[in-house]
Amino acid sequence: MTLQKGLDIYSIRNQFPILAREVKGKPLVYLDNAATSQKPTVVIDALTEYYAGFNANIHRGIHTLAEEATAAFEATRETARQFIGASSTEEIIFTRGTTEGINLVASSWGRANLKPGDEIIISTLEHHSNIVPWQMIAAEKGALLKVVPVTDEGEFIYEAFEHLLSAKTKFVSLVHASNALGVINPVKKVIDAAHAVGALVLIDGAQSSVHLDINVQELDCDFFAFSGHKVYGPTGVGILFGKRAVLEAMNPYQGGGEMIREVSFSGTTFNDLPYKFEAGTPNIADVIALKAAFDFITGLGKAAIAQHEHTLLTYASSQLKEIPGLRIIGDVENKVSVISFILDGIHPQDIGILLDNQGIAVRTGHHCTQPLMHRLGISGTSRASFAVYNTIEEIDALVIGLFKVKKMLS
């Protein structure tokens, strides 16, 4: 394949030990990156180094190990701040992932601020984790959930959003890039319009954070949530950015150690940001290793990664369209490197199983976006999603694999 200027994909692949394995006797072709990305050696090593070298609980200890662990933990916060362009580390809260970030905001902000008749706007493209927490808090507070429709290609209809927006709108929670289709939403326009009516905005960055340059100050979003495991980092850790003034006005999400300043039986005062939102012993090892993932991405350069992924996306789209009976869902210009497709008369699950027999990992089903699938009139799709280590040869393998699937099942 053509190597992108500045990126040697083969040497990048060598940094991911799992890519050397075989599945069903065939070389692994991993095209399920939107579900979770693989981990480079630097991330895996960071986990081992922490457990083997300076495992200790953080913040309260005065011994050497505790100090080393605290320093490494807080170093990730600073790197995360830079990664998304936040102005201060007080605005960076460690969570378990995107899901926990959204739940934190829905319950903490929502419980204190929503009242009967208030409206929350989401879109048809949302992952279940950006639907259900809002349904729960809306039901609790008597608020209403409004949903922005999409076109037949899954594009957010901005005019419909403007139509839904009113003085009743208190919160807008929107996915940046759809995990099911890859389409990118016009988040900046949405944020500005929502602010004009006094509403706050959360951006679900689970899929965008790995592909797009993120600057939360330029976006001017009030919250931005994403997961470590989709940015080449470990599972079980994520970041919630919140604007300092908004976070300061919010109540803690959970009570416990670490988030307090003073506890007595007559009452408790809470710790400063960001610790107010980090009750209990956090996921120290995975937070520490997440720094290695951010450094890995920054070291390669997001622009160079995006260019490579764009080449893969363009090539894959054109090749897949050569397969008779294959339809790409969400075939739009402005998208991240995710391709969802259906094959006439063949169930996505059968496609997934038969590709797996050839060593090719794709995701099939509703992708935790059942309302979107319902809107598009399908039960699910097959989805190939690309990361920096994928190659043109792997796309060729997918296309050959799909021709075989067709031959077997038609």
Ligand X SMILES: Cc1ncc(COP(=O)(O)O)c(C=O)c1O
Binding site for ligand X (CB under 6 A): 97-99, 127, 129-130, 175, 179, 204, 206-207, 227
Whole-number Å distance between alpha carbons of 120 and 145: 5
Identify which of residues 228 and 359 has a Cβ nearer to ligand X in the complex: 228
To ligand X, the closest distance from the beta carbon of 202 in angstroms equals 11
To ligand X, the closest distance from the beta carbon of 116 in angstroms equals 28
To ligand X, the closest distance from the beta carbon of 31 in angstroms equals 15
- Paired with 73 in beta bridges are none
Is residue 381 within 8 Å of residue 318, measured between CB atoms? Answer: no
Is residue 128 within 8 Å of residue 175, measured between CB atoms? Answer: no
HEC profile of 122-141: EECCCCHHHCHHHHHHHHHH
Catalytic residue among 368, 372, 384, 388: 368
Is residue 211 within 8 Å of residue 336, measured between CB atoms? Answer: yes
Identify which of residues 204 and 394 has a Cβ nearer to ligand X in the complex: 204
Identify which of residues 97 and 348 has a Cβ nearer to ligand X in the complex: 97
- Whether 368 is a known active-site residue: answer yes
Is residue 26 within 8 Å of residue 17, measured between CB atoms? Answer: no
Per-residue buried b or exposed e for 154-168, using 16+ beta carbons within 10 Å of the residue's own CB: bbbeeebbeebbeeb
Nearest Cα neighbor of 202 from 100, 89, 81 is: 100
Rounded to a whole number of angstroms, the distance between the first and last alpha carbons of the chain is 32
φ, ψ of residue 44 to 5 degrees: the values are -65, -45
Identify which of residues 207 and 358 has a Cβ nearer to ligand X in the complex: 207
Identify which of residues 123 and 358 has a Cβ nearer to ligand X in the complex: 123
Identify which of residues 231 and 316 has a Cβ nearer to ligand X in the complex: 231
Whole-number Å distance between alpha carbons of 26 and 355: 11
Identify which of residues 125 and 273 has a Cβ nearer to ligand X in the complex: 125
Identify which of residues 54 and 161 has a Cβ nearer to ligand X in the complex: 161
- Paired with 93 in beta bridges are 240
Whole-number Å distance between alpha carbons of 294 and 79: 7
Q: Please name the helix (run of DSSP H) or strand (run of DSSP E) that holds residue 403, with its range, or none.
A: helix 392-409
Rounded alpha-carbon distances, angstroms, from residue 34 to 254, 309, 317: 29, 13, 17
To ligand X, the closest distance from the beta carbon of 85 in angstroms equals 20
To ligand X, the closest distance from the beta carbon of 207 in angstroms equals 5
To ligand X, the closest distance from the beta carbon of 35 in angstroms equals 6
> Do the strands 381-385 and 363-365 form a parallel or antiparallel pair, or are they unpaired?
antiparallel
| Residue 3 DSSP one-character state | P
To ligand X, the closest distance from the beta carbon of 175 in angstroms equals 5
Whole-number Å distance between alpha carbons of 269 and 259: 9
Structure tokens at 324: 């008779």
C-alpha torsion sign, points 15, 21, 26, 28: negative
To ligand X, the closest distance from the beta carbon of 231 in angstroms equals 10
Q: Which residues are catalytic?
A: 368
